[in-house]
Chains A and B, each alone.
Chain A
Amino acid sequence: MSDGPEVTGSTFPPDMPVPLVEALTEPFWTAARAGRLVIQHCTQCGTYRHLPHLMCSTCQSSAHDWVESAGTGTVFTYTIVTHPVHAATAAVVPYNVVVVELDDCGGVMVPGNVLDCPPDEVHAGMPVEVVFERVTDEITIPRFRRVT
C-alpha cells in the first residue's frame, strides 16, 4: 500500500490548471485523495496501462479495475523547465517534470514532479516514491520525492 505522506502547500500557485475529474478517471482521483496511487489494469488480459484509457491496447477489452501501486520507482527521464509557458508557472521556474517507471504495475510510466529536490540534483536513474499533494478540496495530485 502506498503510504506516501500528504503534502500541504502546493508546488504551483493557485491559478495552475487542476485535473478535471471525468468518468474514466474518477477512481484514480478518488484514490489519490485517500493517499493511494492506483493504476488501471485490464481484468481480461492483465495488462496495466497509464495514462488511463477506455480500452486495453493488448486485448481491446474495456473491462478494468484499479490496482494499488506501492508508489516506488525510478526516474526514467526528466526536464527542468526554465521558460514558463503558462502564467501560473512564471513564479516557480525552474521546476522539474519527471517520468517515473514504477517498480510494480507492469512498470508503467507515470509523469510527475519530484518535490524538495534542487534542479541540478534531478537525474535519470534516481529512486523515488510517491507523495500526495492536496491542491484543492477535491483534487490531490500524486507527485514524488527522493528515496535516500
Chain B
Amino acid sequence: MSAWPLQDRTSIVGIGETEYWKAGGADRTEFELACEAVRRAVADAGLTLADVDGLTVYSGERSDPTEVAQALGLRDLRFVSLYPGGGNSACAVLHHAAIAVGSGSADVVVAYRSICQGQFGRFGRARVGSGTARGEVGASVGGRAAFTMPLGLMSAAQSYALEARRHMYEYGTTSEHFGMISVACYANAQRNPRAVMHGRPLTLEDHQRSRMIADPYHLFDCCQESDGACAVVVTSTERARDLPHRPVHIAGAAEGLAAGDGGDRFRRPRELWTSAGLAGVARDLYERAGIGPADIDVAQLYENFTGQVLMTIEDFGFCARGEGGPFVEGGTLEWPHGDLPINTAGGNLAEAYIHGLSLVNEGVRQLRGDSTAQVDDAEHCLVVAGPSAPPSSALILRRAS
C-alpha cells in the first residue's frame, strides 16, 4: 500500500470540554454541555462558529447535529456523519473529520460527544438492542438478547469479563496486572484538577480489595459513569499554521473490524476472544503514519475495562500476544518514568467517561506541551478508542515540526 495521502494533511487546532462530573452531578442539560464544548473548542482554535461547516458524532449522540447546528447558528453545514456503536467510535470521528477536510468536502469539522449518564441512565446498563433502538429489559427479550439475558449475562462488565478470564487462562495474566493499569490512570488523575477522581489516589492494594463486579473485574477495573462533554476541531494543516496553537497533525487514522468479528461476539473467531480486535487497525494506522510502536512517546488507551487495555497493548505491538501482563509490571505504564505512559489525564477510569473523546483532547494537550503529566519532548501520541467493540478506531497524533 502506498503512503496514506492524508498523512499530516489535517490537524487538530482546537479542543474544548465542560467541567466533568460524577454521573448525576451536571448542573445543566446534556444538550447545553454539548454546545458549550463545541463553543469552547472553536474558541480554542481561534475560529468562530461561522467557520464550522462539518459535524461528526457517534453512538446515537442525543445532542443531535441538526439541533446543535441550529442552536449554535452554524452556517453552510456541508458535512455530517454519525458513527455506529459506542466508545469504539471516539477516534473514527476524527478519521471522518480528516477525510472530510482532506478531500475538500469541508473546511472546519468539529467532533463532539456529550454524555450525561445522570440524566439519561448508564450507558452499559441492562438494556436490549443497541444505539437508538435501545429499550428497557422487559419480561421477555428477543433477538440475540434471548440467548444471553435469561442467563444473567446483562452488562458490558460481564461480557468483557469473559474475555479477560480467557486471557488469564491462556496466558497466566493476573488481576494484579489489570490493577496496574488502574493505578497508572489514577496516579495521573491526581495531577489533573479536571479529573473526577482528583484527590482520590488508588493503590494496587485498594484495587485488589475493591468489591468484585463480575469476576475477574473489580470495581476499579471498570470505567466511571460521568456527566460532561468535549469537542475537537479539525482543519487543514495549511490553515492550521495561521491559528494560535501549534498544530497537532493527524499523522494517521484508521478504523475497522477483524475478519469474522461483528455484532454477535459469540460467532467471532476463537482467537479474537483474547484480543481487542484491533490488530488490523494497528497495522493500517502505523503504515498510514509511517511509524511503528517504538516511535510512540505516550498513549491514550480507551478503558472500558482494564483487561481490554492490556489486549490493546498487545494488538498495537508494544509486546507479543499474551505478554501484556508481564509488560505492564514494573511501572511501564506510569508517568513519568515508564516506557509507555498511558492516559496522562486519568483516562476513562479516573478523569471522566466522556465515551473516549476526552482521550483525544489529552493527546492534543500532550503534543502542545500542556498536559498535567507532560511527557518530555512528546512527538507522537497514540489514541485508541473502545477495544473489543467492533468496528473500532485509532489515531496517531504528531507534533508539528
Contact = CB atoms under 8 A, between A and B. Distances in A.
Contact of A80 (B147, B215, B260): B215
A95 B273 CA distance: 22
A53 B264 contact: yes
B50 interface: no
Contact of B150 (A19, A51, A53): A19
Interface in B231-280: 260, 264, 266-267, 273
B320 interface: no
A135 B387 CA distance: 36
Contacts of A85: 125-126, 154-155, 158
Interface residues of B, number: 41
A79 B140 contact: no
Contacts of B145: 17
Interface string A1-33: 000000000001001111110100100000000
A130 interface: no
B146 A22 contact: yes
Interface in A88-131: 89, 92, 94-95, 97, 99, 108-113, 119, 123-125
B283 interface: no
A82 B71 CA distance: 44
B163 interface: yes
A20 B211 contact: no
A112 B266 contact: no
A38 B126 CA distance: 27
14 contacts: A18-B140, A19-B147, A20-B140, A20-B142, A50-B266, A78-B165, A79-B217, A80-B215, A82-B212, A82-B215, A83-B214, A89-B152, A108-B266, A113-B152
Interface of A: 12, 15-20, 22, 25, 49-53, 57, 76-83, 85-86, 89, 92, 94-95, 97, 99, 108-113, 119, 123-125, 135, 141, 143
Interface of B: 125-126, 137-155, 157-158, 161-163, 165-166, 169, 211-217, 260, 264, 266-267, 273
